[in-house]
Amino acid sequence: MDKRNSLGKTGEELINKQMRGNKMRILFIAPSYYPHIGGVEYVVKSDAERLARAGHEIVVVAGEPSTDKPREDIVEGVRVIRWPVWSPRNAYYIPRKRSELEELLKGLARQVDVVHVHSVHSVFVVLSSLLIASDIGSLKVVVTPHYHGTGHSFIRRFCGFLGGEEWQSC
């Protein structure tokens, strides 16, 4: 259903118009990105593309198990930097080339207004967050944990069993 206000504009049209005057630079950090399929990937892609259409400058840094060196793409107006990771059984996303990753992330963090971190269950995301933590200063950081009650591997389920819900929601 198309909900329009008294001026004939939808809420999204009004928000986009207001936001274009206040263009932001946003860095998303995610375990992986489209064309990989999953809940986190869907949310990050949807948010990033919607914000890019609204006129914001979006960069996504995501783990990529199928590459040995970083590569950059533009996907629907979103700059995507795919970082090489080791991903046993498609889990954990352990970054390779950590010193280069730190240099990239710190450089990007100095250029953006907001960092949005997605999924606290990925080594790539947690390590990336820690690498830029000392340089954050007044930078705004948003963390979306994407916790769904269980893990995808024996180790994740076992650690959750040991620590109970307190461990799982850290």
Determine the topology of domain 14-168 in CATH.
Answer: Rossmann fold (3.40.50)
For residue 115, give the DSSP letter: E
Instruction: From 67, 61, 105, 70, select the one nearest 86 (Cα to Cα).
Output: 67
Which one is predicted more confidently, 109 or 119? 109
The sign of the CA dihedral 111, 27, 62, 51 is negative
Q: What pTM does this model have? A: 0.74
Say which residue the tokens 């914000």 belong to: 51
Q: Per-domain residue ranges for the chain? A: 14-168
Chain centre to alpha carbon of residue 27? 7
Q: Is the confidence at residue 72, as pLDDT, over 70?
A: yes
| The pLDDT of residue 5 | 47
| The pLDDT of residue 169 | 38
Say which residue the tokens 């990336």 belong to: 128
Identify the band that residue 148 occupies on the pLDDT scale cut at 50, 70 and 90.
low
Mean pLDDT of all residues belonging to the chain: 77
| The pLDDT of residue 70 | 93
